[in-house]
């Protein structure tokens, strides 16, 4: 098999593995965004996609829409965690490695409402953005993002989630909230809420 076919088949594998964890988050008032399954019926998305938290619906790759309840949000990092009654689906793997400029990245989402679109590029910079409560770390990439990518994952070449795409920062630049911030956010959610455990690293 030549290099380009190996590349295509590796990309195909990546799509196959990640497809099940990407969801559509519908907010009746503000339209649709993307989200990723974080285990035990938890859905991670952008705060601006969750909107006011009412009338949220989540559509999975193989079913839905399901009613979703907002369980936690972080407006500065533009993160929201939703709960649906569907369990037993695979969860995304959040990368524990340091993001490295130049590494290949793939944004998975629903740009302009088109479902399950993968766009590729490289990680451009590990930097910070100003928010109302100070600076937060962000990832910048040269992947083309569009409305509908918000809340979707930025994946590394191994299919791990490096960050959550958030078009709300950085104007026309492609920005993602890094996995380190997401992990903290999920850990806090776990502490403040009894019941199902927060997903581990194993899919």
Partner 1 sequence: MSNVLVELSNAMVAAAEKAGASTVLVSARRRMSASGIVYAANLILTADHVVEQEEGITVTLSDGSVLGAKLAGRDPGSDLALLRLERPAGKPAEISGEAKIGQLALALGRPSTGGIEASLGVVSAVGGPVRTPRGMLDRYIRTDTTPYPGFSGGPLVDSEGRVIGLNTSGFGYGAALTIPADLAWSVAAQLEKHGSVQRGYLGIRSQSVEISEPAQKVLKREQAAGLVIIGVEDDSPAETGGLMVGDILVGIEKHPIHDHDELFANLAGEAVGKSIAVEILRGGKPETLNIKVGVRA
What is the set of active-site residues? 48, 78, 150
Q: Which is nearer to partner 1, 123 or 186 (CB)?
A: 123
Interatomic CA distance for residues 98 and 2, integer angstroms = 31
Cβ neighbour number for residue 17 with a 10 Å cutoff: 15
Minimum distance, C-beta of residue 149 to partner 1, in the bound complex (Å): 16
Q: Single out the residue of 20, 64, 121, 170 in contact with partner 1 (rule: CB under 8 A).
A: 121
Q: Which residue has the tokens 């962000």?
A: 138
Which member of 15, 70, 71, 104 binds partner 1 (CB under 8 A)? 104
Instruction: Give the total of residues touching partner 1 (CB under 8 A).
Output: 25
Is 156 one of the binding residues for partner 1 (CB under 8 A)? Answer: yes
- The token pair that represents 20 in the structure block: 């099940």
Which 3-32 residues touch partner 1, going by CB under 8 A? Answer: 3, 6-7, 10-11, 13-14
Would you count residue 171 as binding partner 1 (CB under 8 A)? no
Task: In angstroms, give the least distance from the CB of 26 to partner 1.
Answer: 31
- Cβ-contact 33, 49 below 8 angstroms: yes
Whether the CB-CB separation of 46 and 164 falls below 8 Å is answered with: yes
CB of 121 closer than 8 Å to CB of 105: yes
In whole angstroms, how close is the CB of 11 to partner 1 at the nearest point? 6
Tell me if residue 160 falls in helix, strand or coil: coil
Which one of 123, 145, 154, 186 is in contact with partner 1 (CB under 8 A)? 123
Q: Does 92 help bind partner 1 (rule: CB under 8 A)?
A: no
| d(C-alpha 78, C-alpha 50), whole Å | 10
* Minimum distance of partner 1 from residue 112's CB (angstroms): 20
Q: Three-state DSSP class for 158? A: coil
Q: Is 101 in the site for partner 1 (CB under 8 A)?
A: yes
Q: What is the largest CA-CA distance in the chain?
A: 52
* Residue (of 137, 167, 184, 161) closest to 33 by Cα position: 167
Binding site for partner 1 (CB under 8 A): 3, 6-7, 10-11, 13-14, 100-104, 121-128, 140, 142, 156-158
């Amino acid at each position: 098999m030549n290099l380009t076919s190996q590349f295509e088949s590796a990309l195909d594998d990546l799509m196959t593995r990640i497809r099940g964890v990407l969801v559509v988050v519908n907010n009746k008032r503000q339209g649709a965004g993307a989200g990723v399954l974080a285990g035990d019926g938890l859905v991670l998305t952008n705060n601006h996609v969750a909107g006011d938290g009412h009338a949220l619906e989540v559509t999975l790759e193989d079913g839905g829409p399901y009613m979703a309840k907002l369980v936690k949000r972080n407006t500065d990092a533009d993160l929201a965690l939703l709960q649906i009654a569907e369990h037993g689906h695979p969860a995304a793997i959040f990368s524990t490695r340091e993001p490295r400029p130049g590494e290949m990245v793939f944004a998975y989402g629903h740009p302009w409402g088109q479902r399950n679109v993968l766009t590729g590029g490289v990680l451009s910079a590990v930097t910070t953005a100003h928010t109302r409560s100070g600076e937060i770390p962000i990832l910048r990439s040269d992947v083309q993002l569009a409305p509908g990518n918000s809340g979707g994952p930025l994946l590394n070449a191994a299919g791990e989630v490096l960050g959550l795409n958030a078009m709300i920062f950085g104007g026309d630049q492609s920005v993602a909230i890094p996995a380190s911030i997401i992990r903290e956010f999920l850990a806090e959610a776990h502490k403040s809420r009894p019941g199902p455990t927060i997903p581990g690293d194993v899919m």
